[in-house]
Amino acid sequence: MSDDAAPEAVRRTPRSRRQILAAGSALVGGGLAEVIALPARAETMGGIENMPPHVPRWMKEPGADVGSQLYGQPSEFEKDVIRNVPKNGKQYTSSASRTPLQELDGIITPNGLFYERHHGGIPAIDPAQHRLMIHGLVERPLLLTMDELRRFPTESHIYFLECSGNPGFEAVKQGKTASDLVGLASCGEWTGVRLKTILEEVGLKPEAKWVVAEGADAAALTRSVPLEKCLDDALLVFSQNGERLRPQQGYPVRLLLPGFEGNMSVKWLRRLNVVAEPAYSREETAKYTDSMPDGTARQFTFTMEAKSIITRPSGTQRIAAGFNEITGLAWSGRGRITGVEVSVDGSTTWQPAVLQQPVLSRAFTRFRYPWAWDGRPTVILSRATDETGYVQPSFADLTAIRGMKSFYHNNAIVPWRIAADGEVSNGYV
């Protein structure tokens, strides 16, 4: 975006992006003299001997050879970019870990940072002994090995995956970071076979209406999937971001239902039972239903609604007055994101953000908004609109309909409060 195309608030700022860049460029010229002439500042600057015009120590000796890491690892200086596990002092086989959304760029979540949700721990499955059974209301039941599954035509797509409890309605005031609040969401490229292809192979009987998917974990997690979804975009996935699934993500094969709540994309998939009625399993009766104010429960709420969050600046970060790029992520189980608006005055006014390409259906979309902060306390927010016209609601609007008894499917706008010293904190508090 050129300066001429920037919002008026940015063009009026006394310290524009061009000025910031010019100030940085001065270091290459006369500014270097300050670094050279003030060695006493080394203690506060840290490692001044490795800064220009000095030759840094890592240029004075050969680096590690190509065989030092047979499986590539991040830099040691990025060791704090890890999944976020709730600090409750205990770990259970039924637990979760969150993606550090505030530390990431782009839309793809690295495999090692992809969020996890387990109901019975992570099974160690030998793919040579694993089988996928397709039976029930079919003409020709199948028992597939992994090699046989991979013989079918495959395809790759980028989709988000999100837990429906991301976050619970009562949990919005407890989180400090973007990861704490909505870190049970990630996005990756998935490779596998269309479930429709397999169902055509076995042949469906006329009375078939649902497919009950069962995982091979200790919980035998079981979910009922409408046949329409199975014949649409559902995938039997064996690879994620170009490599085989990690055990935490369902190795050797999982179901992937784009746009549906995460637990329906059953991991460690062992069985697909084609039936006439849903199973009404534990995970679709006692869990993953929405308690409504009138005492009823909303069941089979499959689609994850439009949602967004600002990831920078966000909770626990700190900014300086002047130019700051606001950036974040938006997604919708209904399809593509068509717009994201940003408010820098506590939702009094809203301005359109720029959507970074690619903008894909049921995938993370990165948005950006140039902002000149004047140093005064404020609240920043984002709200997304998808291709169906659905607009992400405020927390007040959402709870006015759903009440506070509900736990799942909270897609409300997330506010971040910015203090006068630049510290960013949870705007719900």
Taking only the tens place, the pLDDT of each residue in 107-125 is: 999 999 999 999 999 999 9
Ranges of beta strands (E only) in 295-336 are: 297-298, 307-312, 322-331
State yes or no: pLDDT of 45 exceeds 60: no
Question: Which of 329 and 48 is assigned the larger pLDDT?
Answer: 329
Q: What is the pLDDT of residue 94?
A: 77
Domains of the chain by range and CATH? Answer: 99-290 (3.90.420.10), 307-426 (2.60.40.650)
Residue corresponding to tokens 């495959």:
154
Lowest-confidence range among 57-71, 144-158, 263-277, 360-374? 57-71
Q: What is the pLDDT of residue 21?
A: 44
Beta bridge partners of residue 297, listed in sequence order = 291
Residue 110 and residue 160: Cα distance in Å, rounded? Answer: 12
Lowest-confidence range among 127-131, 172-176, 255-259, 346-350? 172-176
The rounded percent of the chain whose pLDDT value lies above 70 is 88
User: Per-residue DSSP letters for 225-266?
Assistant: EEHHHHTTT-EEEEEETTEEPPGGGTTT-EEE-TTB-GGGS-
- Mean pLDDT in the chain? 90
Taking only the tens place, the pLDDT of each residue in 239-264 is: 999 999 999 999 999 999 999 999 99
Residue 218 and residue 123: Cα distance in Å, rounded? Answer: 7
State yes or no: pLDDT of 46 exceeds 70: no
Can you tell me whether residue 389 is helix, strand or coil? coil
Residue 406 and residue 399: Cα distance in Å, rounded? Answer: 9
For strands 365-373 and 322-331, give the pairing: antiparallel
Burial class (CB in 10 A: 0-12, 13-18, 19+), 103: middle
State yes or no: pLDDT of 24 exceeds 70: no
Taking only the tens place, the pLDDT of each residue in 289-337 is: 999 999 899 999 999 999 999 999 999 999 999 999 999 999 999 999 9
pTM for this model (two decimals): 0.88
Is the dihedral angle over the CA atoms 16, 18, 24, 29 positive or is it negative? negative
**Is the backbone peptide bond immediately before 258 cis, with ω within 30 degrees of 0?**
no
Q: What is the pLDDT of residue 121?
A: 92
